Chain A
Amino acid sequence: MPHLENVVLCRESQVSILQSLFGERHHFSFPSIFIYGHTASGKTYVTQTLLKTLELPHVFMNCVECFTSRLLLEQILNKLNHLRSSEGGCSTHITCETFNDFVRLFKQITKAESLKDQTVYIVLDKAEYLRDMEANLLPGFLRLQELTDRNVTVLFLSEIVWEKFRPNTGCFEPFVLYFPDYSIGNLQKILSHDHPPEYSADFYAAYINILLGVFYTVCRDLKELRHLAVLNFPKYCEPVVKGEANERDTRKLWRNIEPHLKRAMQTVYLREISSSQWEKVQKDDTDPAQLKGLSAYTHVELPYYSKFILIAAYLASYNPARTDKRFFLKHHGKIKKTSFLKKHEKITSLVTLQLLTLVGHDDQLDGPKYKCTVSLDFIRAIARTVNFDIIKYLYDFL
């Protein structure tokens, strides 16, 4: 059995709290534990590893997939069923519509020999989705031990604090455990832990040091940093592979990798270009500055009259109504002359393109109100193509 400290790094205090809560296998534990912390602070990983390493019977559920309560309850019961008959008996699919049925079936299943004398753990990951499901689920799970009269503990993993979960009608308060963010030292340790087999640990650790130096100010997400580490490592090794430097020439390696990492921050980190494109750029050794990111393509070509409708909508959305007289008493020749023959169709198509959105009530059929959702730069570009100086007509620029 791999030792827990080797697998779970930098979470010693949290692991020890959890272990003391779990106690011995047959001990009743606290009915519900609420674990929260930022993304990639190790909540899912630590919980899963702990339960697997200690070989405790558990069911792991991701609440994102369960958009109806029925899916959630049925999956928990079926997975438990698999657990108890893991000797190979065939399992029929259990159906369960309500929480009442769930409690009843749960009691039946946990009567089995393999599950009788030990704590069963139910882990609900992304527990914030429970708040959008039926109102009785969350309080029910919090009290599951009491409702079923069995040795069960429910763990809730979430990024949102407990205060936002607490239902108005009151509930059983769980044990709240906070997973703080990793410090830069922790990140260094964790990232250097999984180094590629071909290179030494020190070499990789130096690389991670440089990587963190560039990215730590903008990104503390462990998953993202690992991804970036893998993507850029080939570039780091390039001088060594080509024979221009050896593993200890830290300055040369730093000079080679640092501008590359800075460019990565503006492109592949922001998902302006994809990671496969980034890898290709590195392999072909082309200049990454040539690749245009997604945000470079902002230009939208619109038909002539639609441009005017959009400009009019923008002005109507952002100028107070009382200023209209001041700007438009002398009609701008172009707007007055255009005959909006297909006005309705064009407004609908602009809404489809999400350049206008409907505001106000849906049932106001005779007077729908729209608002223009494009940015100032966008509308200036459009106005320029039809020779209309929109700045002159905007109240905010007087």
Chain B
Amino acid sequence: MATSSVSKGCFVFKPNFKKRKISVPVEDYFNKGKNESEDSKLRFETYQLIWQQMKSETEQLQEELNKNLFDSLIEFLQKSYSGFQKNSKDWGCQIKLREIPTAALILGVNVTDHDLTFRSLTEALQNNVTPYVVSLQAKDCPDIKHFLQKLASQLTGCCVDEESKEGSTQVAQKKTHCSMDSLSSWYMNITQKTDPKMPRKKRTSSSQWQSPPVVLILKDMESFTTKVLQDFIIMSSQHLHEFPLILIFGIATSPVIIHRLLPHAVSSLLCIELFQSLSCKDHLTTVLDKLLLTTQFPFKLSEKVLQILTNIFLYHDFSIQNFIKGLQLSLLEHFYSQPLSVLCCNLPEAKRRINFLSDNQCENIRRLPSFRRYVEKQASEKQVALLTDERFLKEEIQSLLENLHAYHSNYFLVLRCLHQFTSSLPKYPLGRQIRELYCTCLEKNIWDSEEYVSALQLLRDYLLPPETQPLHEVVYFSAAHTLREHLNAAPRIALHTALNNPYYYLKNEALKSEEGCIPNVAPDICIAYKLHLECSRLINLVDWSEAFATVVTAAEKMDANFITSEERNEIIHARFIRAVSELELLGFIKPTKQKTDHVARLTWGGC
């Protein structure tokens, strides 16, 4: 590609996307190796079904948990709205300060979950209170001008009826220089135009209100600058009679931030009420309850896996979204790597599928450690039959699966009884096994009572750990290390592996090499990286460049006719410079003033 240009310009040539990228369907990933590709399509479908069900369960849960909060917020908004409409001839109303009704919503430090909450809140408000609901984020509003612009553009997007189409052109002009006055006049236009008798497309109850208030949600209040907030509140409080505004502050820490961000003169313009959302720990308990401590879903997590997920939650981020993502990852990984997961579905379907198990799958079952233990306990004739006769095996599997299912329903029943039994005790922490231990330890005064002995009996009979049950590997996912690898990434290790051993990721046969050797055809950055590993704290760029050139020229058998050796040297030099800049970007080296033409090495060892 050439350009004709007089000046030394820089041109960008974009590749043409004539060749459409062929995306591999997800199911094909399940056909990994011969052993694990059994029933891959069925496993994938089962995974999808279970995940859909789990997802809708969590969404329903979310709605229910938010219900209380949203209902109280809606009540607050309705009360404030009626305050707006109150007869202003009342003596009290004339003299009192006209305050902006404000809801301070304490949501907790898991800021990643807030987005979802705000989306559902916006929907709930639009259905019940007013169509004019606007959300703003601090990063979009560095100053008051952008604040008002974003507010105006979202407001005009709120009304989607026919009437607004004429008004939209004039408002688009106002976008360039919008002010509080233009917002007030927009509001007056829009509320005069809407005739309550005309049928509306979407909103039902909110259309009955004559002039619905404008609700402004500030999603992350801590991040807003004081000046922007102050100026906006002062301005809008002066225009309150023509632009009825209600504010909702999304607060992650505590309401003290309001007094920290706003001086008394400004917070006295607000009428603030507090609303708290459910604590995230309680949310986690409910999620666990609905998704795992139930026979509704056949999929279960082993103790270690559950520990990892709850530890990430409790120790790192309190994020329910990430917990659910971890759960989805576990589910996918289980169906991907365990060929017997084809039986991990509801009991009637599983019994049906047993009949279609291939010989390979039967062998897989025979190899399960829990099944082997089971076989050892049987009489010798039965042992032989189980190990050789496919039909007999399948019948046995049917009854084993039924037992597993019964085990689970009893387990959770008794667990819940025990929980109810001991729930009035102080200090019961989260987690099934821990909770039970704690309870039994604390209950000193019922050591001798009959109920305790019978409870202990129940425990012994029904609350056996799942590892004792045959065929438990079918439904239990226990590859904790895989999960940890995926969720707690170690970028340094990955980088080192990629640079040191490019075959691991690129899977190019030519890149295979023994330990310590550098394949000449490796990418430039790998060669530069390997060379730099042999250097000490300060690396001489000239030596490095020469070593690089040596390695690279050994690889290339370039056509001598094509390029002169000088050009070739220049190309290699350019490649070296590129590789060095990439290493600098990744943080392995940095320029230093201690010696000229040297760079300082920043990392040692593997990571």
Contact = CB atoms under 8 A, between A and B. Distances in A.
A353 B252 contact: yes
A346 B279 CA distance: 20
B235 A271 contact: no
Contacts of B318: 301-303
Interface stretch (B92-100, B327-335, B521-529): B92-100
B55 to A, nearest CB: 25
Contacts of A62: 238
A271 B316 contact: no
Contacts of A64: 231, 234-235, 238
A168 to B, nearest CB: 23
Contact of A70 (B101, B177, B274): B177
A230 B95 contact: yes
A352 B317 CA distance: 13
Contacts of B316: 303-306, 341-342, 346
Interface string A180-216: 0000000000000010110000000000000000000
A354 B235 contact: no
Contact of B106 (A39, A297, A303): A297
Contact of B96 (A70, A196, A230, A298): A230
Given A294-B255, A294-B274, A300-B254, A197 B267 contact: no
B83 A276 contact: yes
A349 B252 CA distance: 11
A298 B254 contact: yes
B109 A271 contact: no
B273 A276 contact: yes
B268 interface: yes
Interface string A87-104: 000000000000000000
Interface string A214-247: 0000000001101101110100000000000000
A106 to B, nearest CB: 20
Contacts of B91: 196-197, 230
A163 interface: no
Contacts of A75: 181
B271 A301 contact: no
A232 B3 CA distance: 81
B352 interface: no
Contacts of A197: 91
Contacts of A271: 259, 264, 267-268, 270, 272
Interface residues of A, number: 49
B220 interface: yes
A387 interface: no
B95 A224 contact: no
A64 B108 CA distance: 33
A71 B148 CA distance: 13
A294 B95 CA distance: 26
Nearest to A280: B79
A312 to B, nearest CB: 15
B179 A71 contact: yes
A223 B99 CA distance: 12
Given A299-B254, A301-B108, A342-B316, A294 B272 contact: yes
B143 A67 contact: yes
Nearest to A373: B260
Contacts of B80: 276
Interface in B466-489: 488
A303 B109 contact: yes
Nearest to A299: B254
Contacts of A298: 254, 256
B272 A274 contact: yes
B105 to A, nearest CB: 12
Given A71-B177, A223-B97, A271-B268, A294 B109 contact: no
Interface in A281-335: 294-295, 297-306
Nearest to A227: B97
Interface in A347-364: 349, 352-355
A122 B106 CA distance: 45
A294 B271 contact: no
Contacts of A353: 109, 111, 222, 252-253
A148 interface: no
A68 interface: yes
B95 A276 contact: no
Contacts of A223: 97
B315 interface: yes
B314 interface: yes
A277 interface: yes
B265 interface: yes
Contact of B181 (A65, A194, A277, A354): A65
Contact of A65 (B106, B179, B258, B270): B179
A325 to B, nearest CB: 24
B434 to A, nearest CB: 15
A275 interface: yes
Contacts of B490: 341
Nearest to B98: A227
B253 A354 contact: yes
Contacts of B488: 341-342
A197 B108 CA distance: 48
B410 to A, nearest CB: 35
Contact of B256 (A224, A229, A230, A294): A294
A276 B79 contact: yes
B96 A354 contact: no
B271 A274 contact: yes
B104 interface: yes
A163 to B, nearest CB: 22
B76 to A, nearest CB: 9
Nearest to B273: A274
A285 to B, nearest CB: 19
Contact of B254 (A227, A297, A345): A297
Contacts of A352: 111, 220, 222-223, 252
Contacts of B177: 68, 70-71
B180 interface: yes
A340 to B, nearest CB: 10
B255 A297 contact: yes
A275 B109 CA distance: 29
A66 B270 CA distance: 22
Given A227-B96, A355-B253, A305 B315 contact: yes
Interface in A229-268: 229-231, 233
Nearest to B267: A271
A65 B232 CA distance: 8
B453 interface: no
Nearest to B266: A271
Closest 9 CB pairs of A and B: A304-B315, A294-B255, A354-B222, A274-B271, A227-B97, A196-B91, A300-B253, A67-B144, A230-B96
24 contacts: A39-B265, A65-B179, A68-B177, A70-B177, A71-B179, A226-B96, A226-B97, A230-B95, A271-B270, A271-B272, A274-B99, A274-B271, A275-B96, A276-B271, A294-B259, A294-B272, A297-B106, A300-B253, A301-B281, A303-B313, A303-B317, A304-B316, A306-B109, A342-B316
Interface of A: 39, 62, 64-68, 70-71, 75, 194, 196-197, 223-224, 226-227, 229-231, 233, 270-271, 274-277, 294-295, 297-306, 341-342, 345-346, 349, 352-355, 366
Given A226-B95, A276-B273, 16 more contacts: A67-B145, A68-B145, A194-B95, A224-B97, A227-B97, A230-B91, A230-B95, A274-B270, A274-B271, A275-B96, A294-B104, A301-B109, A302-B318, A303-B109, A303-B313, A306-B316
